Structure 1
Amino acid sequence: MNPLKEARREKGLSQYESAKGIGISYSMLVKMENGSKSPSKKTMWKAARFYGKTVDELFFTDLVH
């Protein structure tokens, strides 16, 4: 599962609630969670701050061996 989606579910939030909390559109969050859109650096930082995770945990876990 996508780490971004996992973080949202851990907090028990809907996609709409998370998008609002991060400060992005609902459609952007959906695209980020399904991997069809890569976020900007600024959006990565905002999401990491919102979920209490690092940017690496949310967006680069597939690169870690």
Structure 2
Amino acid sequence: MNRLREARYKLGLTQEEAASSIGVSISLLSKMEQGLKSGNDNTKIKISKFYGLSVGYLFFGEEITKRDKNKQEVI
């Protein structure tokens, strides 16, 4: 499972709920979760802010940072 989908699952959200909260289309979020689209930088930033995780962690396979870990413990 990719990290983007995993972050959504951890919050217990459907794609529709997450997309609406983030301000992107369900189609785009679905394609990003499937790895079919990468999204532009602004979209990646909006998504990372929504999930409280770094862009690097969600989209580029970087290890989780201390900041990310602290935010996940709150969720």
- TM-score when scaled to structure 1? 0.92
- After superposition, the CA RMSD in angstroms is 1.1
Question: Unmatched 5+ residue regions in structure 1?
Answer: none
| Separation (CA, whole Å) in 2 of partners of 1:21 and 1:56 | 21
Stretches (4+) displaced over 6 A: none
Question: Unmatched 5+ residue regions in structure 2?
Answer: 64-75
Number of the residue aligned with 2:55: 55
Deviation at 1:55, TM superposition (A): 0.3
Number of the residue aligned with 1:3: 3
SS of alignment partner, residue 37 of structure 2: coil
* Relative contact order higher in (CA < 8 Å, ≥ 6 apart): 1
Number of the residue aligned with 2:70: none
Percent of residue pairs bearing the same amino acid type: 49
Deviation at 1:39, TM superposition (A): 0.7
Query: Of the two, which has the highest radius of gyration?
Result: 2
Number of the residue aligned with 1:34: 34
| Separation (CA, whole Å) in 1 of partners of 2:55 and 2:21 | 16
Deviation at 1:30, TM superposition (A): 0.4
Deviation at 1:35, TM superposition (A): 0.4
SS of alignment partner, residue 39 of structure 1: coil
- TM-score when scaled to structure 2? 0.80
Alignment size in residue pairs? 63
